[in-house]
Homo-oligomer: A and B are copies of this chain.
């Protein structure tokens, strides 16, 4: 079996912890691994790393690669989605590649940001689905409802076709509270988990029947595969496609759909109120992460990244404090966080884009402060890692080493800078920072100049293939 992990999500619902350039699948949320890493690790040993394909956008590529490198030894494949067009085009592209490399194989389509703890039961369900997919079904994982949830789509089960497996009678949209209660009561409905299993050949045939425009686009991309135009053709075809979900585009229309009841625990972590499924609340129903002082609070989640957070008399709230943004939200309005993100964007603020600490393949940097003509960064470089050989036209840089040892290339010279030593990089000087040591290197960089944005960089050599 192959796996296609969908990792292009925007992740606005966990703002301010998630950002446009650091969506939910990249977050740890109380675990030692990120949701993406957990998704990959959860497949082992049933699906081998080389049979796993993660599809994502260009802007997330570096972070995804870095996270996968930390868990799989580099065996997992990464596919590029030219632009976000909801799930159907991404699934189509994934199926196209898989069908070409291993015709007729069964593929599981999995979100990268869900929570599943029971790995063995997950494998059992996957195997059951694999067998049905082999018979030609489009298989969806259904989850037995435990409450009248209005945030999910539902699946009405039809004729049983095996242990915990049914033909799908129909898919239904997110219901209102009354309808959700009826669905729960009837026992005939399952939640649509957004996880699917099918033969790549079968899903492509179904797209041909129900999404002819997408299929036509995929065929054009297929024709260009392996040529120098491959990327341009994919981009061009994706630009023309409508953004359509695989549920709406195929599943709701196909006559060939089965549902397998998930035997494992599952949460789609759809909003901050789901954090309780990861971190156990205390006796008062409070979840506390970080430096928190609370008085007379109940049923409240405090997620404090670095500052002290104090709460008095809070009930049913979520408080999330990050270095550049703080969210305070009524739990039952947690689904509105995406509207706040839209409002922030609309106001011209940039706290929806990235964090103050930005991950890079060589380590990370944090903007400590910016002024009209200066910027202070703390830069951490992993042992053995090096930044690109680069030039800035509008800024000079002072580097002070505060831990570890740095090697600095400046024009034709190379110098070693130890803790408590500094160096100066004048404007327009070719330079490179690297960590030749065995412990992390930390430097404080003071930038001076009239223009201090990240795009004032000309790269001449980069070990991570960036341009």
Contacts and interface: CB of A to CB of B under 8 A. Distances in A.
B326 A310 contact: yes
A324 interface: yes
A417 B459 CA distance: 31
A66 interface: no
Contacts of A396: 420
A190 B246 CA distance: 71
A-side interface size class? 35 or more
A398 B373 contact: no
A338 to B, nearest CB: 11
B368 A340 contact: no
A291 B349 contact: yes
11 contacts: A310-B327, A310-B340, A313-B336, A319-B328, A321-B326, A368-B376, A371-B403, A374-B402, A374-B403, A400-B446, A400-B448
B312 A371 contact: no
Sort A-B residue pairs by CB-CB distance and give the 4 closest, nearest first.
A313-B330, A374-B402, A420-B448, A312-B329
Contacts of A329: 310-313
Copy total for this chain: 2
A294 to B, nearest CB: 9
Given A312-B329, A313-B333, 17 more contacts: A293-B340, A293-B344, A295-B333, A295-B336, A295-B343, A296-B333, A304-B326, A310-B325, A310-B328, A310-B340, A311-B329, A319-B326, A328-B328, A368-B369, A372-B403, A374-B403, A398-B400
A130 B416 CA distance: 75
Given A16-B310, A296-B333, A373-B403, A422 B420 contact: no
A56 to B, nearest CB: 27
Nearest to A327: B310
A226 B366 CA distance: 56
B347 A328 contact: no
B328 A312 contact: yes
Interface string A302-316: 001001111111100
- Chief secondary structure at chain A's binding surface: strand
A424 interface: yes
Nearest to A318: B312
Contacts of A328: 309-312, 314, 317, 319, 328
Contacts of A419: 373, 448
A25 interface: no
Contacts of A371: 402-403, 442
Interface in A353-401: 366, 368-369, 371-374, 376, 378, 396, 398, 400
A306 to B, nearest CB: 9
Nearest to A311: B328
Residue among A312, A323, A339, A371 with most chain B CB within 10 A: A312
Contacts of A372: 403
A326 B324 CA distance: 12
Interface in A217-246: none
A317 B330 CA distance: 12
Residue among A403, A419, A420 with most chain B CB within 10 A: A420
Residue among A326, A344, A374, A422 with most chain B CB within 10 A: A326
Residue among A295, A344, A373 with most chain B CB within 10 A: A295
B347 A293 contact: yes
Contacts of A403: 371-374
Contacts of A420: 396, 448
Contact of A325 (B307, B319, B333): B307
A444 interface: yes
A43 to B, nearest CB: 36
A442 B376 CA distance: 12
A351 interface: yes
